[in-house]
Amino acid sequence: MKWGWIALMLITFSLLAVPLARSKGANAEQQIKEVNDRYIAAQLNNDSDSLQKLMADDFTAIRSDGSLSTKAQEIEHIKSGALTHEKSDIQDVKIRVYGNTAVATVRSFFKGTVNGKPLSSTVRVTRVWLKQKGNWKCVALQSTRVSP
């Protein structure tokens, strides 16, 4: 009888725990969608203050030309006007959450300027997010040009 009661309790706990775990994952996925959207909006508005808040201090970007950039460099490029974003048509958004880490990938048609020269291209962008002190921070970005 005792084992039957224990088995019943374990089954009940399992049935309650699975939906709770799924809801936490869905909640984190929604949070990543929101911070990812805020990141893109900050880029489009050339809003260095918002980007600074969304990036981790050790943020690293690898651009489609292979260049490497730190958080300080990214912020300075935007503040100085060396990098401007005019348009970003986002498609094919995928978000995967792994506990306190998440990966967001998008396909984006980008239009803007780099060092005063117009630039437009289609890229796939991967952003890696890490939850630090209760806030999601972008720790890495990889941009790869999509062939025409």
pLDDT tens for 40-89 read 999 999 999 999 999 999 999 999 889 999 999 999 999 998 888 888 88
- Residue 82 in tokens: 């060396």
Nearest in space to 49 (alpha carbons), one of 83, 31, 82, 74: 74
Pure H helices in 45-144:
48-54, 71-80
Domain total of the chain? 1
Residue 96: give its domain's CATH number: 3.10.450.50
Provide the pLDDT for residue 76: 94
Nearest in space to 126 (alpha carbons), one of 142, 138, 108, 139: 142
Strands 55-62 and 83-98: unpaired
Containing domain of residue 64, as a range? 2-145
| Measured distance CA(146)–CA(45) in Å, rounded | 24
Q: Is the pTM of this model over 0.75?
A: yes
